[in-house]
Structure 1
Amino acid sequence: MTSIETKQQLTKEYSGVKYILTSSMRAKLLLAVYEIPKNLDDLRRDLKKPSATILHGLKELESINLVRKVHKCYELTSNGYLLTTNMIKLIENWYSLGKSETFWDNHDLSDIPEEIIKNIYLLKDAKYINSTTSDLSISFNEYIKLISKAQELQIILPIYSENHFKHIIDLLKEGRLRKLNLYVSEEIYNSIDENETFKKELLENNKVKTTIINKTLKVFLTCSDKFVSLTLFFKDGHYDDSQILIGKDENAIKWGHLLLDYTKNKLEDMNG
């Protein structure tokens, strides 16, 4: 989907969601019947509103084919379900962005595609960690602690960092890390190749698969089946090692793999 098509779709979705969000009653009614149909008594008890107010809201929703009445119960139509799902995503996206506002605000997001940004609500429970002037290594230490417990890792690595490589090699030697997929630019690959230790322990290690990406990415993404971590670049092009986003819940891991799969698919496209 092109950027223009994406924006057109977002505009269309926003118009529908905006109509709902301008009325708290309409929004609450859709959310109330999102999972299961409910009758008027159920809705009156859930929303603590009089029947007249609820029926007025239901009539509005029925008139635009978002809700229908079936056997004295109100349920979402297909359109209603899709719109309510988008509304929930929008609210959760706002929450996710607000929770880690500094992280998203300060960084270059150009290598995260719009369709992945749209799913940022999946990171609503991710933890934002920021180093301090008194301890600049907080984020890095959290990352090392994280990967030290993983048996398999997939890493989009946009920087050449001897500190990262040394810790990864230690994990490989100790047998804690059993499989590593590295995605690096040609420049970083060549730099690894020029270092005899790194070449032997990474490029010539049968536990490690290294794939060259034909562009310089501005995303440092690490995925396992237990967590996802993300660090980014400042908008001026410099890598920021002071802030990291870590997610350990199912949704965050899903988001990480969406971005990883997108990058891998783009890589396959570039390589024909």
Structure 2
Amino acid sequence: MTAIETKEELAKEFSGIKYILTSGMRSRLLLAVYENPKNLDELRKELRKPSATILHGLKELETINLIRKVQKYYELTSNGFLLTTNMVKLIENWYALNKNKLYWNSHDLTGIPDKFLKEIYLLKNAEYVTSTTSDLSNAFNTYIKFISNAKTLKIILPIYSENHFKHLIKLLNDNKLKKLELIVSEEILDSIKENDLFKRELINNNKVKIRCVKKRLKIFLTYSDDFMSLTLFFKDGHYDDSQILIAEDKNALKWAENLLRNFARR
């Protein structure tokens, strides 16, 4: 498919999506029957609209094969289910971005593959932690608190930070951290090798596995069985250690785990 054909196809799809999203009633009806079929009385109670308004919206959605009536109940067709699923993702993406808009707007997102940017909604429950003028180390200290309770850690590490390495080594030596996996660039790995302490405690440590990638890394991602955290660079290329996203829910952990696998395959 050529770029022109792709744009034409997108234009056609957009007109269909626009038809749904520009109508509050059509959108709400799709969402109302997304998980379970409902009859007219149930829809009227949930949407708090008169029967005539609801029936008009249902008729429009039936005409374009998004909803069908089975006996007295209205349910999504296969097309309706696919469209509504993506509509839910769009709404959740919007919520996740808007919830932490200061974080997303001020950072370079080019280090996150497009596939995972489209799934930002999985981070909708992430907590935004920032340092302040009265507590410049708040974000870092919060991060250390989380990794100190982890048994295993997998980290995409885009920076050479002696402070981070020393904390990880202490956790390993205290036997709190049982397994550590690092994904670093060639430049970072070379710097680790030049430091005798880090070379001995990290490279020559049976608990540690280091994967090296050729491409420069632009995200600092940490994943364990219990939490994930994400730190990014400013748009001018400087690393930002003052702001961090931390989440503990299963959706965020799934997002982080899949992203780590993506980088590990490089």
Q: TM-score, normalised by structure 2?
A: 0.95
Output the amino acid matched with 1:148. Answer: S
Residue 221 of structure 2 aligns to a residue whose secondary structure is strand
TM alignment of 1:1-272, pairs within 5 A: 14-265=14-265, 267=266
Q: CA deviation at 1:258?
A: 2.2
Output the amino acid matched with 2:94. Answer: W
Tell whether the 8 Å contact from 2:211 to 2:264 is kept in structure 1 after alignment.
no
For the residues of structure 1 that align with 2:170 and 2:195, how far apart are their CA atoms?
16
Aligned residue pairs, count: 265
Q: CA deviation at 1:8?
A: 8.1
Runs of 5+ consecutive residues of structure 1 not aligned to the other structure? 268-272
Q: CA deviation at 1:13?
A: 5.4
For the residues of structure 2 that align with 1:154 and 1:137, how far apart are their CA atoms?
23
Mean CA deviation greater in 56-65 or 256-265:
256-265
Describe the shift of the 1:172–1:150 C-alpha distance in structure 2 as closer, same or farther (beyond 3 A).
Answer: same
Tell whether the 8 Å contact from 1:17 to 1:86 is kept in structure 2 after alignment.
no
For the residues of structure 2 that align with 1:8 and 1:135, how far apart are their CA atoms?
52
For the residues of structure 1 that align with 2:100 and 2:16, how far apart are their CA atoms?
27
For the residues of structure 2 that align with 1:157 and 1:5, how far apart are their CA atoms?
40
Output the amino acid matched with 1:78. Answer: S
Q: CA deviation at 1:12?
A: 6.0
For the residues of structure 2 that align with 1:7 and 1:115, how far apart are their CA atoms?
19
Q: Deviations over 1:83-126 (max 9, x none)?
A: 11111111111111111111111111111111111100011110
Tell whether the 8 Å contact from 1:151 to 1:178 is kept in structure 2 after alignment.
yes
Task: Report the identity percentage.
Answer: 67
Q: Deviations over 1:17-51 (max 9, x none)?
A: 32212111111111110001111111112112111
Output the amino acid matched with 2:101. Answer: E
Q: Deviations over 1:111-149 (max 9, x none)?
A: 111111110001111001111122211110011001001
Cα RMSD (Å): 2.0
Mean CA deviation greater in 43-52 or 144-153:
43-52
Residue 103 of structure 2 aligns to a residue whose secondary structure is helix
Runs of 5+ consecutive residues of structure 2 not aligned to the other structure? none
Q: TM-score, normalised by structure 1?
A: 0.93
Tell whether the 8 Å contact from 1:13 to 1:83 is kept in structure 2 after alignment.
no
For the residues of structure 1 that align with 2:261 and 2:18, how far apart are their CA atoms?
32
